Chains A and B, each alone.
Chain A
Amino acid sequence: MIAWATAAPAIGAAFVASTVEVVEAFTIVLAVASVRGWRPALSGAAAALGVLALVVAGLGPLLNLVPLHALQLVIGVLLLLFGLGWLRKAVLRAAGLMALHDEAAIYTRESARIGGEVRSAAAANGVAAMASFQAVLLEGLEVVFIVLAVGAGRGLMIPASLGALAAFFAVMTFGLLVRKPLAKVPENTLKFGVGVMLSAFGVFWTSEGLGAPWPGDDWALFGLAAAFLIVALALVAAVRPRPAVVTP
């Protein structure tokens, strides 16, 4: 039986991170569907999900062959690079120094791109299916990495996979109901949270990989996440441009 304190951060990190990626993939699949219909959109997405399933099936057993400390160290460093990079962008966006991710603009651009490439109906469907395939594959790879990263270090693949699956079904259900780009998802807030959690996981696994267990064991993850959250919020305040003072 996996302890709640151990499983909760893995489920939460996988769920929130996957939500962000699935929203991005869904925007392009929806754009494809609006231009060429659901058939090429869903066939491209299904093919990409098949490739991703093969990647997971291939990588999963390989991870069991790597010694645990080496696995924790490698995954910890990769998580640190990924998490700190994501947190850096989220801080800059929150401070107004980087443009926010605009799903509505991406939807419009992708619709125009796919529509503009139309030659014959068959060719157009091929282009549409490829666009859908590419979007789901690229965003899905990030989901696969996150699930492997937060799950493989301590036998948490099932909770992490459940978090990702829950995100997939939540976004799909909501997206298919509204049939519009999910522009109202507070994406930068989610990315901020994901950056905090991935960075905390990165520090935790890297240290464990170096043979340094944290006091409180898995509960230390919450403390590390709190530390990154406080630092990131302080950085937002520090770099946010101040309004110019107008002197009379």
Chain B
Amino acid sequence: MNVLKEVLEELWSMFVGDRRLTLLTLVIVAIAAAVSLLAKAAVVAAVLVLVGAVAVLADAVFAAARKARG
């Protein structure tokens, strides 16, 4: 049971280690999916995913840096 618990914890931390990063990434993908489906603008959706991912990364790094500096 202990091994199973550790495996589940490992899987959880692989994808939800940083909750803010996970949440923002899912929001970006949801917006891109809406743009692709509703506006039929797949290229705009692709650019949104790229720009959004870069922005999420920058946000996560700056947030962690602020926290590390206290």
Binding site for B on A (CB under 8 A): 73, 77-78, 80-82, 84-85, 87-88, 91-92, 95, 97-98, 130, 133-134, 137-138, 141-142, 145, 199, 202-203, 206-207, 210-212, 214, 224, 227-228, 231-232, 235, 238-239, 241
Contacts and interface: CB of A to CB of B under 8 A. Distances in A.
B51 to A, nearest CB: 10
Contact of B60 (A88, A130, A211, A228): A88
Between A84, A95, A239, the greatest number of chain B beta carbons within 10 A of the residue's beta carbon is seen for A84
Contact of A77 (B25, B45, B62, B69): B25
A98 B29 contact: no
A82 B45 contact: no
Closest 6 CB pairs of A and B: A212-B42, A212-B46, A207-B46, A239-B65, A97-B68, A210-B36
A199 B50 CA distance: 9
Interface string B3-19: 10011001100111110
B36 A211 contact: yes
B17 to A, nearest CB: 5
B47 to A, nearest CB: 9
Contact of B49 (A97, A130, A210, A238): A210
Interface of B: 3, 6-7, 10-11, 14-18, 21-22, 25-26, 29, 32-33, 36, 42-43, 45-46, 49-50, 53-54, 56-58, 60-62, 64-65, 68-69
B61 to A, nearest CB: 5
A203 B32 CA distance: 11
B46 A239 contact: no
Given A203-B49, A206-B29, A231-B58, A88 B7 contact: no
Given A141-B10, A210-B49, A88 B25 contact: no
Contacts of B26: 77
A134 to B, nearest CB: 6
Given A199-B53, A212-B42, A145 B14 contact: yes
B48 to A, nearest CB: 9
A214 B49 CA distance: 12
B64 A92 contact: yes
A130 to B, nearest CB: 8
Given A81-B15, A81-B25, A95 B65 contact: yes
A141 B11 contact: yes
Given A210-B32, A211-B42, A82 B14 contact: yes
Given A77-B25, A211-B36, A84 B7 contact: no
Contacts of B58: 231, 235
B6 A227 contact: no
Between A80, A87, A224, the greatest number of chain B beta carbons within 10 A of the residue's beta carbon is seen for A80
Contacts of B25: 77, 80-81, 84
